[in-house]
Amino acid sequence: MLYQIYEGQRSLMEPFADFAQAASKLYSNPLSPFGQNPFAQRASAGLDLMYRLWKDYEKPQFGITTIDIDGIDIAVHERVEIDKPFCELRRFKRFSDDPATLTRLKTQPAVLIVAPLSGHYATLLRDTVRTMLKDHKVYITDWKNARMVPLEKGEFHLDDYVGYVQEFIRHLQATYGNCHVISVCQPTVPVLAAVSLMASRGEKTPLTMTMMGGPIDARKSPTAVNNLAMNKSYEWFENNVIYRVPTNFAGAGRRVYPGFLQHTGFVAMNPDRHMTSHYDYFKNLIKGDDTSTEAHRKFYDEYNAVLDMDADYYLETIRIVFQEFALVNGNWDVINDKGKPERVKPEDITTTAHFTIEGELDDISGSGQTEAAHGLCYNVPKSRQKHLEVKGAGHYGIFSGRRWRDQVYPQVRDFIQQFNETPAEVKALPKPAKAAAKKAPAAKKAPVAKKATQSRRTSAA
């Protein structure tokens, strides 16, 4: 019922938001009679702020059409490579007429960026993609809004997420011979599971796996987000945050965790910061500071655009990652595409180099949560492991913004390049060596919650 009430309120406010936008433009136009008023600038600023607070935020576009590589403009074409019911594998294909640049682009490694399915769209990683495109062939998981997925498409579980990641990895391996994987925040857990299962089956695994700010072991330095998930019961989440999609959407009747509820939670974590930001926006509009106001609009166009998550996936993530800690306790079984359970064993990974990255001031994934992956993948040689703590960086700073571009990305780029070819001695690591490896200390078992069911261009990369 709450979802229907929210949609009714949103529909009711829509014409008022449009009116506020039109009135703001009238007051800001010096040729308008309203613009002659001495308080016109303040009135326009106030109405503009009202419009932005009331408007409905749709999914943003990546909008990456060109990138600059050493002073040469490279055209970028965005296209869907694989279309799944709940996700699109999106490719950013680069084009160039410059022969030297073309040769360089063709030899660069392929990277799969696994974006989080945790409320925001994959466009939150726009800066990550744009930066990576300078030195890599880039693909990204673009998760769909569950309220737009018809019921006949079936349910979506955490096991399906793991299966999607494996399918996308195999696709890149078939195309390029091998690939590298980067996971940001939430997907660090299912990506590690996907690679572990591939290793257990004897499949080729990615050359590198970079994990950024994710809850591999959510017991370490728990944050407010972790505490909520750990201190409330599974039944509490199922009874209080799960609703059915209203009839005006394609996914009518689907059980989801609505995006508007998650957005409310985002804002509630730092209400003072958001209030200050909106007030500063109002003042900057009055001053005519176009640079600051545009930066505010871009941030909130992204931040306020949220998606619904399928209830099964969301509840299973709460249970497995934040309540049972099944990955670190070694008792996570994933149902494969044949309907058979497979145990997730990170210790079976022997060749995939892995790089963990954390922000010093991260208030989403606490210190040590991502680094815990090294203790799980103990059969990977120490020479193929790396950890980075980014000083002064919060959660978003490790994959977006100045710190990402200047401090984090150069190390990610160099790490991928360093292990772009697997050494023969690592490829041939014998089974006895793996079995004799020092076993990681067993983690303390947590209580188990109840389980519920052109001009002419040449293609480059």
Asked whether residue 253 is assigned to any structural domain, the reply reads: no
CA atoms within 13 A on the CB side of 79: 6
Domain co-membership, 143 together with 184 = yes
Task: State the total domains in the chain.
Answer: 2
The Cα 173–Cα 166 span in angstroms is: 10
| Ramachandran bin of 401, using left for φ above 0, alpha for ψ from -120 to 50, beta for the remaining angles | left
Asked if residue 350 has pLDDT above 90, the reply is yes
- Condensed to tens digits (0 to 9), the pLDDT of residues 371-413 reads 999 999 999 999 999 999 999 999 999 999 999 999 999 999 9
Residue 165 located in a structural domain: yes
- Are 291 and 361 found together in one domain? no
**30 shares a domain with 172:** no
Would you call 303 helix, strand, or coil by DSSP? helix
SS3 106: helix
**Which residue type is seen at 332?**
W
User: Which two three-digit tokens encode residue 14?
Assistant: 């829509």
Are residues 161 and 205 located together in one domain of the fold? yes
Decide if 442 is inside a domain.
no
272 domain-assigned: yes
Residue 126 domain flag: yes
Q: Is the dihedral of CA 431, 435, 440, 446 positive or negative?
A: positive
| Cβ-contact 373, 343 below 8 angstroms | no
Q: Indicate whether 47 and 144 sit together in one domain.
A: no
How confident is the model at residue 331, as a pLDDT? 96
**H or E, element range at 208:** strand 208-212
Give the per-residue pLDDT at 38. 83
Q: 411 and 325, same structural domain?
A: yes
Is the model's pLDDT at 461 over the cut of 70? no
Q: Which domain holds residue 403?
A: 72-238+309-436
CATH for 87: 3.40.50.1820
Residue-level pLDDT at 315: 97
Looking at the structure, do residues 315 and 188 belong to the same domain, yes or no?
A: yes
Of 195, 199, 180, the closest CA to residue 111 belongs to 180
Q: Is residue 248 part of a domain?
A: no
Which helix (H) or strand (E) segment holds residue 158: the answer is helix 158-176
The pair of structure tokens assigned to 35 is: 């613009």
Tell me, yes or no, whether 445 lies in a domain.
no
Q: Does residue 314 share a domain with residue 391?
A: yes
The 10s digit of each residue's pLDDT in 270-296 is: 889 899 999 999 999 999 999 999 999
Same domain? For 382 and 275 the reply is no
Burial of 7 (0-12, 13-18, 19+ CB in 10 A): middle
C-alpha distances out from residue 439 to 262, 331, 433, 436, Å: 39, 16, 12, 8
Q: pLDDT tens for residues 425-444?
A: 455 444 434 444 444 444 44
Residue 394 and residue 279 in one domain: no
Do 181 and 206 belong to one domain?
Answer: yes
Question: Do residues 289 and 431 share a domain?
Answer: no
Torsion, Cα 61 65 69 73, to 10 degrees, reads: -160
Does residue 339 lie in a domain region? yes
254-286 burial, b at 16+ Cβ within 10 Å, e below that, comes to bbbbbbbbbbeeeeeeeeeeeeeeeeebbebbe
For the whole model, what pTM was predicted? 0.88
Q: Which two tokens stand for residue 291?
A: 């640079």
